Structure 1
Amino acid sequence: MLCGVPVLVLGLALARAVLGRRFVAVTVRGASMEPTYRHGDRVLVRRTAAAGRGQVVVVGEGGAAHPLLGSRSWQIKRVAGVSGDPVPRECASAVTGLRPSDRVPDGKLVLLGDNPRVSVDSRQQGYFPADWVLGTVIRPLSGGSR
C-alpha cells in the first residue's frame, strides 16, 4: 500500500506543474472592466496566445509603457477586434489617423475596457500586439468583491 504513495505524490506534483503552466489566477486591479469584473476580483486565465473577438484577455505591456500605466504592467481587456476586422468606430474616432474603413493589421488586436470612462485601452493606445496576450479569462474565482 505504501509503495503507491510516492507514485501518487509524484503524479499530483506533475499535474500541478502542468496545470500551473497552463492556468494562472489573476487579481483584477482598477475599474476598467466594471461592471464585468471589479477591483479585487480574481479570475482564472488559460495561458494562450490565441484570442477571439469578445473574449476577455490579460495582456502584458512590452516596449515603452503608457504614462498612465507605469512600467511593465498587466491589463485585463475585452477583444473588440482581431486581424482583418474593421476598426471599431469608437477607436477610429479616438486614435489619430484611423478610419472606420480601416482593418485591424495582422498580428494586432483592438482591446477595450468595459468601463470606457476610466479604461486606458485601444481608444488611447491604438493597436495592441497580439503576442502580448498572456491568456484568456476562463471564469471568475471565488474570493473577489462579488
Structure 2
Amino acid sequence: MGWAQPLIIGIALAVIIRSFIVIPIVVEGASMNTTLLDHDRMIVNKMDEPERFDIIVFHATKTEDYIKRVIGLPGDKIEYKNDTLYINGEAYDEPYLDEQKEVTVGALTPDFTLQDTPLKQLTVPEGELFVMGDNRRFSKDSRQIGSIPIDKVVGTTNIVYWPVKEMKIIHN
C-alpha cells in the first residue's frame, strides 16, 4: 500500500492542475503566423485575466477553440487606417506584425472600424474582447465573427514548448 498513496496524490494533483491552472494546446492553422506556426504546442494559463495584446485561447464554437490576440478591451473604440491600429484614437505599434509586413505587398490589415464588423457599434461591448490573428489576411477573427465574451476565454498563452528547436516565450 506504500506506493498507492503517492500515486493517488500524483493523479489528484494532475487533475487539479489541468482543470484549474494550465493545459496544453496544439495550434491549428496559419491564422497566427509568423508568431505561432501550425502544430506548435503551447501551455495555456487558465488563471490570468486577458490583457491587451495577450494571446488567448477561447471557445469559438461548441467543438472548436481558436487562438488569437486581444486587440480591444471592453469600451475600446478600434479602427485601422493605413495599416495602423488605433485604439480610442491613439496609434499603437504592433511589433509582432513586423515579420509579416516585410513579406506582404500592400496593407497587411485593411482599413476598418468596429461598425464595419458584425458588432455594428462604436465600441467593444462590456464583458467582451475584440481579437485578431497575427496573419491578418488569413485569419477568421472578430472582424468576421464579432467580439468574444470573456466567459468563453479558456486562458492566455505565451509559451511554445514544441517543437523543441522553436521553444520560446512570446513577449507582447
How far does residue 95 in structure 1 lie from its aligned partner after superposition? Answer: 1.9
Q: How many residues align?
A: 134
Q: 1:89-100 to 2 correspondence within 5 Å?
A: 89=80, 90-92=111-113, 94-95=116-117, 98=120
**Partner residue of 1:75?**
66
Question: What does residue 107 of structure 2 align with?
Answer: none
- Within the candidate set 13, 16, 23, 2:11 is matched to 13
Change (3 A) 1:72 1:49: farther
**1:85–1:104: 8 Å Cα contact kept in structure 2?**
yes
Q: TM-score, normalised by structure 1?
A: 0.78
Change (3 A) 1:96 1:25: closer
Work out whether 1:133 is the aligned partner of 2:153.
Answer: yes
How far 1:30 sits from its partner (Å)?
Answer: 0.6
Distance (Å, rounded) in 2 between the aligned partners of 1:145 and 1:32: 21
Distance 1:122 1:144 in 2: 31
Separation in 2 of the partners of 1:92 and 1:142?
Answer: 36
Contact kept, 8 Å, 1:38 with 1:145, in 2: the verdict is no
Instruction: Summarize deviations over 1:27-67 as a string: whole Å, max 9, x none.
Output: 111100011110010111122583111110111124xxxxx
Structure 1 residue 10: Cα displacement: 2.2
CA distance in 2, matches of 1:131, 1:78: 16
Normalized per residue, which structure has more strand?
Answer: 2
User: How far 1:7 moved relative to its partner?
Assistant: 2.7
Q: Runs in 1 of length 4+ with deviation above 6 angstroms? A: none
- With over 3 angstroms needed to count, the CA separation of the structure-2 counterparts of 1:96 and 1:75, relative to structure 1, is closer
For residue 37 of structure 1, what is the aligned residue in structure 2?
Answer: 36
Aligned to 1:25: 24
| Matched-pair contact (CA < 8 Å) for 2:118–2:145 | no
Q: Percent identity?
A: 28
Q: Which runs of 5+ in 2 are unaligned?
A: 81-110, 167-172
Contact 1:81/1:88 (8 A) holds in 2: no
Q: 5+ residue gaps in structure 1?
A: 63-70
Q: Return the TM-score normalized by structure 2.
A: 0.67
Amino acid at match of 1:95: T
